[in-house]
Amino acid sequence: MSKLAEFMEIVKSYVLKNWNNKNLITSVLCVYGVYKAIYYTFFDKLRKIPGPLITRFFLFPTNRAKSTGKYTDYLFSLHNKYGPIVRIGPNMVSDSSAADFKKVMASYKFSKSSFYDGFGGAHQNIFSTKSEDFNRMRRRQIGPAFSQTGLDSVESIVEDICITAFIKKMNELVEDSNGSAQFNYFKYYQDVTADVIGELAFGERFHAIENNGHPVTGWVNASMRKSFIISSFTLLKALMPFIPALDTVVPELKNFCLQAINNRRSLIKSGKFDKDRIDILQMLLVAVNTSNKKPLSDDELIAEMATMVIAGVDTTSITMTWLTTYYMLYPEVYRKVVDEIRSNFPDRNYKISDKEAREKLPYFVATVYETLRIRGSVGGALPRDVPKEGVELSGFYIPRGIEVSMFIAGAHRDPKVWGHDLSFNPDRFMGPNGENLKKELLAFSSGVRICPGRNLAWAEVLMIIPNLINNFDLRFPKTSLYGPNILDPSNGNEPMVPKDVTYATRPPENPDRDCNIIISKRS
């Protein structure tokens, strides 16, 4: 018999002899505390994993970081101190190794952890599901909409929103302000991506650009924050089916999706729906669940459509927000981008397509890659469960049942891949070596769970930003708290970057204050 087993026999004997003692509860709690201390100090399978002592016993520091939006900063602080593998809870580790990231994401062996339960709603969806079969099924059902062929079929629609409608709105702002206007680019980028996902998902745009916004962007922000916080706490997830207020999709967004579903059914029933128009909603309405051979229920449809809206609005707009911010902080980079765009497309009225941007604007494309590396739109980590055979990661054996969180932002600073100069430097993605580094980018995840909407995200960025810059000059207002000469001593005297906040995605912490810009017609 092991010493731990002997100790537990002594505890059991004591409890049985004193079960009616008024101090029993206190005694049991004390004994339990001693047991946990002994176990996690001498017998714990993760005892060799470095990390703060408190994380051997409690999840509190990790959950506090998650609930306050500081999870990315928290993980950086731990990895900077302890290395690529660090313990963040009794049964959790975080991993910032790029090689480990690809290893874990390469197959379905590492299933999504319980963190995803309830993410984006009480019903499983393409993002939250832990089932390999379910994920494959949904990808088959909606995959054509996000394939390059599918996007080519709606290119004119996306172009009309990302270029025509957006540039028209910018011109109106400038003309109404006598040639120079201040606008919040975080907000307007959300308006554009909202209109795009409205068209591709529901078959009708939200008209957020023309109307200076749409409630859907607020619903998205609230749902993302709520999903991340509730998914971090086991008790809240367990109570979600019984307490409607805990549903991670705000009711306004759920009702909006349900109304759109019912409207589409009415159009189909009346024969007024254009059968040649195929969007994500229509794909799901005609889809059949392979598990029960039945069409998707209303709850399943709402879960998928809400997920599409949340993912489609938030991530791409955040990428463009950080890209614009870095242009303003690094004027020499911005000037090179301006020169490249305007020399290749001297006619400001010419509509630059995403394909032309990719082919003719290599430096601009490099700045997008570098922004995705240094400040990607996905924050925190992607938690996975270690399979029964266990796994070795960065020299440490991780046993089955442990949750390993793959830290994307940390992997994007892995010195084995990116070297030790981690400052904003788009040149790293230029030339033959740059082409190789592009394959190391993990902003859209990797392997079997790679983001199905990555082609759409690239198309939006490659349309919106080049056409914006080809038409307008951009600069921070004089009242901005940030600029190329406002330096950060803690980051090698690089320009100070606005703080971010992590609730699954990683937007600026204070976009209303920090994401304002002056635009004027190009000189």
Residue at 314 is within a domain: yes
Residue at 27 is within a domain: no
Range with lowest mean pLDDT among 48-57, 111-120, 177-186, 493-502 = 111-120
Residue with tokens 């990231």: 101
Instruction: Determine the Cα–Cα distance for residues 181 and 198; give it in Å rounded to an integer.
Output: 27
- Number of Cβ within 10 Å of residue 176's Cβ equals 9
The model's pLDDT over 346-396, given as tens digits with 9 standing for 90+, comes to: 999 999 999 999 999 999 999 999 999 999 999 999 999 999 999 999 999
- pLDDT surpasses 90 at 23: no
pLDDT recorded at residue 129: 86
The model's pLDDT over 419-430, given as tens digits with 9 standing for 90+, comes to: 999 999 999 999
Band of pLDDT at residue 291, cut at 50, 70 and 90: confident
Element (H, E) at 86: strand 85-89
Alpha helices (runs of H) in 240-361, residue ranges in sequence order: 251-270, 280-285, 298-329, 331-344, 354-360
Residue at 6 is within a domain: no
Q: In which region does residue 498 sit, left (phi positive, over 0), alpha (psi from -120 to 50) or beta (all else)?
A: beta
N-terminal to C-terminal alpha carbon distance within the chain: 83
Q: Pick the residue with more confidence: 1 or 235?
A: 235
Tokens of 247: 């549903």
- From residue 479, how far is each of 185, 280, 323 by CA, in Å? 16, 43, 20
Range with lowest mean pLDDT among 127-141, 233-247, 331-345, 503-517 = 233-247
High-pLDDT (> 70) share of the chain, % = 90
Number of domains in the chain: 1
Residue at 7 is within a domain: no
| Average of per-residue pLDDT across 121-140 | 84
Which of 279, 296, 298, 278 lies closest to 288 in space, CA to CA?
296
How confident is the prediction for the chain on average, in pLDDT?
A: 90
- pLDDT surpasses 90 at 10: no
pLDDT recorded at residue 38: 62
- From residue 250, how far is each of 74, 161, 192, 194 by CA, in Å? 28, 26, 21, 17
- pLDDT surpasses 70 at 16: no
- pLDDT surpasses 60 at 7: no
The model's pLDDT over 302-311, given as tens digits with 9 standing for 90+, comes to: 888 988 888 8
Report, in angstroms and rounded to the nearest whole number, the Rg of the chain calculated over CA atoms: 25
pLDDT recorded at residue 220: 87
- pLDDT surpasses 70 at 39: no
Q: Which residues of 444-467 are buried (b: 16+ CB within 10 A; e: fewer)?
A: bbbeebebbbebbbbbbbbbbbbb
| Average of per-residue pLDDT across 314-331 | 98
| Average of per-residue pLDDT across 392-403 | 96
- pLDDT surpasses 70 at 25: no
pLDDT recorded at residue 44: 81
Residue at 439 is within a domain: yes
The model's pLDDT over 47-84, given as tens digits with 9 standing for 90+, comes to: 999 999 999 999 999 999 999 999 999 999 999 999 99
- Number of Cβ within 10 Å of residue 510's Cβ equals 14
Whether the CB-CB separation of 523 and 369 falls below 8 Å is answered with no
Residue at 411 is within a domain: yes
- pLDDT surpasses 80 at 335: yes
Tokens of 212: 């200076």
Binding-site annotation, residues: 451
The parent domain of residue 232 ranges over: 44-521
Range with lowest mean pLDDT among 27-41, 81-95, 172-186 = 27-41
pLDDT recorded at residue 37: 60
Range with lowest mean pLDDT among 13-27, 166-180, 261-275, 307-321 = 13-27
pLDDT recorded at residue 346: 97
Q: What is the pTM of this model?
A: 0.90
Tokens of 383: 């938690």
pLDDT recorded at residue 142: 86
- pLDDT surpasses 70 at 3: no
Residue at 124 is within a domain: yes
High-pLDDT (> 90) share of the chain, % = 68
Band of pLDDT at residue 22, cut at 50, 70 and 90: low
* Helices 185-197 & 454-471 angle (0-180, nearest 10): 130
Which of 90, 97, 95, 100 lies closest to 62 in space, CA to CA?
90
Which of 74, 100, 72 lies closest to 85 in space, CA to CA?
100
In 115-202, DSSP assigns E strands to 180-184
Binding-site annotation, residues for heme: 451
Residue at 380 is within a domain: yes
| Average of per-residue pLDDT across 434-442 | 97
User: Helices H, strands E: what count in the chain?
Assistant: 23, 11
Range with lowest mean pLDDT among 23-32, 52-61, 185-194, 376-385 = 23-32
Instruction: Determine the Cα–Cα distance for residues 364 and 340; give it in Å rounded to an integer.
Output: 8
- pLDDT surpasses 90 at 166: yes
The model's pLDDT over 448-475, given as tens digits with 9 standing for 90+, comes to: 889 989 999 999 999 999 999 999 999 9
| Average of per-residue pLDDT across 294-301 | 90
**At residue 505, what are phi and psi to the nearest 5 degrees?**
-90, 175
**At residue 239, what are phi and psi to the nearest 5 degrees?**
-85, -10
Which of 172, 147, 164, 255 lies closest to 205 in space, CA to CA?
164
| Average of per-residue pLDDT across 225-247 | 77
pLDDT recorded at residue 127: 85
CATH of the domain at 100: 1.10.630.10
Range with lowest mean pLDDT among 228-237, 338-347, 372-381, 504-513 = 228-237
| Average of per-residue pLDDT across 266-271 | 92
Pairing of the two strands 396-398 and 391-393: antiparallel
- Reduced to 3 states (helix: H, G, I; strand: E, B; else coil), residue 92 is strand
pLDDT recorded at residue 132: 87
- pLDDT surpasses 80 at 36: no
Q: Which residues pair with 383 in a beta bridge?
A: 405
